[in-house]
C-alpha cells in the first residue's frame, strides 16, 4: 500500500514548481489588471482633453467664450452658468402662486385661536390717479400696511402708483382685469383668464416677471348672484392652478348706493361686530373720496378696539 501511494503522489520538486507557477500567474494577472486600469484612465483623460481642445466657441448664457480662454476659465464659466440656471429654477419654483400650506392659510384666515384681534384693510378696484395717492399718504403717516386688490385695466393706466404701493410695503393682490361680470363669468376658464390678465399687468407695472399676487378676489364676491355656479367651478379651477381667493367679512358699503360719512361708520361698526379677525372691504377707485375722508376714523375705530393691522404678507 505504502509503495502505491508513493508512486501516485507528485514528487516534492514538481509540487514546488507548480506552486511557484501559480504565484507567478497571480502576480502577472494582478499587474495586468493594474495596467488595464491605468490604460483606461489615460484613455478617458485623452478623450476629455480632445473634447476640450475641440471647443471653438462655448455658449454661456448670452456670452460667447472664445477658445483662447484657458480651459480652466471655460470650466469656471460653465460652473457659473450652472449656478445661474439653478437660481432660475429656484425663481421658477417661487413663481408657483401658492403652496398647499399657503392656500390653506388664506382659506382659514378667520380661524384665529389667539387672543389677538387682527384686521386686514383691503382696497379694491384701484389704483386711481386721484384717490390712491391720498390713501397712500395717509397710510404712510399712520404707519399702516394694507392689501390692494388691483384691477388689471387700472394697473395698466397707473403703473407708477402700483410701484409706489409695492415699494411702500403694501400687498398687491389680484381683482382681475376688466371687472365686467358678463365677460368674467362666462365659464371657469374665463375666470382664470381674468386672473392671468391682471397678473400680467402687475408684472409689467413692477417690471418683474417673477411677481405673483397669489390671491384673487372675485369681482362681486365669490358666492351668490346669478353666476354662483360658475364661480364655484372657478374656485376649483383656481385651486388646481395653485391660486387662492379671498372675500371679506366686514364692509363699509362705500361702493353701494350713495354712501355718507355716517353710513360708512355705521356699516363699519355693524359688520365688524365682535369679530376676532376682520377682512374689511373698501375701495380706492376714482369716485371714492369719502373712503379716503373717513379712513382716519376707520383706523381709529380699530385702534381703539385693540386690533393689529396686518397684510396678506403675514398669512403667506
Ligand atoms: Zn370690485
Question: Which DSSP string corresponds to 10-51?
Answer: PPHHHHHHHHHHHHHHHHHHHHHHHHHHHHHHHHHHHHHHHH
Phi first, then psi: what are they for 137, rounded to 5°? -60, -45
CB 136 within 8 A of CB 165: yes
Bigger pLDDT: 126 vs 40? 126
Q: Which CATH number fits domain 100-314: 3.30.230.80, 3.20.20.370, 2.40.50.140, 3.30.720.110?
A: 3.20.20.370
Q: How far is the CA of 219 from the centre of ligand 1 (A)?
A: 5
Cα-trace Rg, the chain: 36
pLDDT category of residue 43 using cuts at 50, 70 and 90: low
For ligand 1, the distance from its centroid to the CA atom of residue 257, given in whole angstroms, is 14
Confidence of residue 4 (pLDDT cuts 50, 70, 90): very low
Query: How does residue 10 score in pLDDT terms, banded at 50, 70 and 90?
Result: low
Largest CA distance in the chain: 132
CA of 117 to the centre of ligand 1 (A): 26
- CA 131 – ligand 1 centroid, Å: 15
Q: How far is the CA of 62 from the centre of ligand 1 (A)?
A: 43
Give CA torsion, residues 172, 175, 178, 183, to 10 deg. Answer: 150
Write the burial class of residue 6 (CB in 10 Å: 0-12 exposed, 13-18 middle, 19+ buried): exposed
| Domain boundaries of the chain, sorted by first residue | 1-54, 57-95, 100-314
Tell me the pLDDT tens digit for each residue of 92-131. 444 567 899 999 999 999 998 788 999 999 999 999 999 9
Q: What is the pLDDT of residue 64?
A: 38
Which range is least confidently modeled, 72-81, 146-155, 243-252, 285-294?
72-81
Look at residue 148 and give its three-state secondary structure: strand
For the chain, percent of residues with pLDDT exceeding 70:
79
Condensed to tens digits (0 to 9), the pLDDT of residues 143-173 reads 999 999 999 999 999 999 999 999 999 999 9
Distance 154 CA to ligand 1 centre (A): 12
Q: What mean pLDDT value characterizes the chain? A: 85
DSSP for 182-227 reads HHHTTSHHHHHHHHHHHHHHHHHHHT-TT----EE--TT-SS-STT
Q: What DSSP state is assigned to residue 246?
A: -
Amino acid at each position: 500500500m505504502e509503495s502505491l501511494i508513493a508512486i501516485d503522489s507528485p514528487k516534492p520538486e514538481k509540487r514546488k514548481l507548480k506552486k511557484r507557477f501559480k504565484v507567478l500567474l497571480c502576480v502577472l494577472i494582478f499587474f495586468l489588471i493594474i495596467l488595464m486600469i491605468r490604460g483606461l484612465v489615460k484613455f478617458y483623460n485623452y478623450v476629455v482633453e480632445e473634447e476640450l481642445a475641440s471647443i471653438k466657441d462655448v455658449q454661456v448664457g448670452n456670452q460667447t467664450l472664445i477658445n483662447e480662454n484657458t480651459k480652466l476659465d471655460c470650466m469656471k464659466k460653465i460652473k457659473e452658468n450652472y449656478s445661474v440656471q439653478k437660481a432660475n429654477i429656484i425663481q421658477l419654483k417661487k413663481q408657483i402662486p401658492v403652496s398647499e400650506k399657503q392656500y390653506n392659510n388664506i382659506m382659514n384666515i378667520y380661524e384665529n385661536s389667539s387672543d389677538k384681534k387682527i384686521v386686514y384693510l383691503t382696497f379694491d378696484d384701484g389704483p386711481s390717479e386721484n384717490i390712491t395717492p391720498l390713501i397712500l399718504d395717509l397710510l404712510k403717516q399712520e404707519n399702516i400696511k394694507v392689501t390692494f386688490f388691483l384691477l388689471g385695466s387700472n394697473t395698466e393706466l397707473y403703473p407708477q402708483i402700483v410701484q409706489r404701493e409695492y415699494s411702500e410695503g403694501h400687498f398687491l393682490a389680484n381683482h382681475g382685469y376688466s371687472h365686467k361680470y358678463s365677460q368674467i363669468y362666462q365659464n371657469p376658464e374665463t375666470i382664470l383668464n381674468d386672473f392671468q390678465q391682471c397678473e400680467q399687468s402687475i408684472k409689467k407695472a413692477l417690471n418683474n416677471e417673477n411677481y405673483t399676487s397669489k390671491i384673487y378676489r372675485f369681482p362681486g364676491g365669490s358666492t351668490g348672484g346669478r353666476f354662483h355656479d360658475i364661480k364655484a367651478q372657478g374656485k376649483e379651477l383656481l385651486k388646481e392652478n395653485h391660486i387662492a381667493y379671498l372675500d371679506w367679512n366686514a364692509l363699509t358699503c362705500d361702493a353701494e348706493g350713495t354712501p355718507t360719512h355716517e353710513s360708512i361708520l355705521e356699516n363699519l361698526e355693524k359688520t365688524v361686530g365682535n369679530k376676532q379677525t376682520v377682512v374689511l372691504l373698501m375701495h380706492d377707485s376714482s369716485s371714492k373720496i369719502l373712503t379716503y375722508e373717513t379712513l382716519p376714523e376707520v383706523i381709529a375705530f380699530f385702534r381703539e378696539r385693540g386690533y393689529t393691522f396686518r397684510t396678506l404678507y403675514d398669512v403667506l
